[in-house]
Amino acid sequence: GESVGLHLPTLSVQEGDNSIINCAYSNSASDYFIWYKQESGKGPQFIIDIRSNMDKRQGQRVTVLLNKTVKHLSLQIAATQPGDSAVYFCAERRAAGNKLTFGGGTRVLVKP
Amino acid sequence: DTGVSQDPRHKITKRGQNVTFRCDPISEHNRLYWYRQTLGQGPEFLTYFQNEAQLEKSRLLSDRFSAERPKGSFSTLEIQRTEQGDSAMYLCASSLAGDRGSYFGPGTRLTVT
C-alpha cells in the first residue's frame, strides 16, 4: 500500500556537525512533502515543506531535498544544536483535504 | 496562546469506560484533523472536518469512535467502551484550506487500564 517510511530509527550527531535524515515514500500522487519535529510530550511542529515539482528548498539551517526518481526525501540540518534533539517525521500531503500520511520517525540525539 | 489547544492533556481510564477529548483549533482555521499516535510511530489520520462538516473518516475510526465539530470551531472526540488498544496520544491539528501543513496541538495521552 501507500506508505512513507524512514531508513534509520536513531541518529547520533556531534553538536556542530550536520545531520541528514532520510525518508522513502511510495505515493507519487502527493503534492507536498513535509518535515515535522516532535519533542517529548509535544505535538509535531512544522519545519519545512517542499512541493512535489521541486527538488530542493532551503530554510533557516535546514534544507530539504526531493528525488522523485527514487522516491526519496531528506532533511539536512546544518550545525546541529542540542535543541535539535527530537524525533523527526516526514509526511506526505494529498491535495484533497490536506490529510497527512506520516512515516515512523527518526530520533536525533545531539552529543555535546 | 493562539495555537491549537487540547484538553485534557492526560487521561487514565478503566477499560469499558467512555472518554471525551476536546480540541480548540487556531481561531481562523476552517479545517480540523484528529490523529492518533502510538509510541515510536508517526501520527495516523483518523478524521477531518471542514467547518462543521466531517469530510473523511479513516478505517481506523471504529464505530466506538465519534467526532463532532458542531459549530465549526472546537471539536470533540469520544471513545466509547474503551479498550487497552485505544491507549495512545490523540493529536488534533488545524489548518486553512490553502495551507500546506497543519498545526498540531500538544495532544491528549490516553491510558486505558
- pLDDT in tens for each of the 113 residues of chain B? 579 999 999 999 999 999 999 999 999 899 999 999 998 889 999 999 999 999 989 988 899 999 999 988 999 999 999 999 999 999 999 998 777 788 999 999 999 99
Mean pLDDT of chain A: 88
Chain B contact for A112 (CB, 8 A cutoff): no
Cβ contact B102–A43 (<8 Å): no
Which residues in chain A are closer than 8 Å to B99, comparing Cβ atoms? Answer: 98
Residue (of B88, B94, B101) closest to B44 by Cα position? B88
Residue B106 is nearest to which of A34, A43, A46, comparing CB atoms? A43
Cβ contact B45–A89 (<8 Å): no
Q: Write out the three cell numbers for A9.
A: 530509527
Task: Mutate one of B45, B57, B90 to test the A interface: name it (highest A CB count within 10 A).
Answer: B45
Which residues in chain A are closer than 8 Å to B33, comparing Cβ atoms? Answer: 98-100
List A residues 18-37 in contact with B (Cβ-Cβ < 8 A): 32, 34, 36
Chain A contact for B45 (CB, 8 A cutoff): yes
Question: What average pLDDT does the segment A40-45 reach?
Answer: 92
3-state secondary structure of A90: strand
Question: What average pLDDT does the segment A92-100 reach?
Answer: 79
Cβ contact B101–A34 (<8 Å): yes
Chain B contact for A45 (CB, 8 A cutoff): yes
* Cα(A66)–Cα(A53) distance, integer angstroms: 9
Q: What is the DSSP letter of A78?
A: S
Sequence-distant (≥ 6) Cβ neighbours of residue B42 within 8 angstroms: A4, A89, A91, A102, A103, A104, A105
Residue B16 CA: distances (Å) to CA of A10, B68, B80, B108: 37, 21, 7, 18
Which residues in chain A are closer than 8 Å to B4, comparing Cβ atoms? Answer: 43
Q: Write out the three cell numbers for B102.
A: 497543519
Q: What is the pLDDT of residue B60?
A: 83
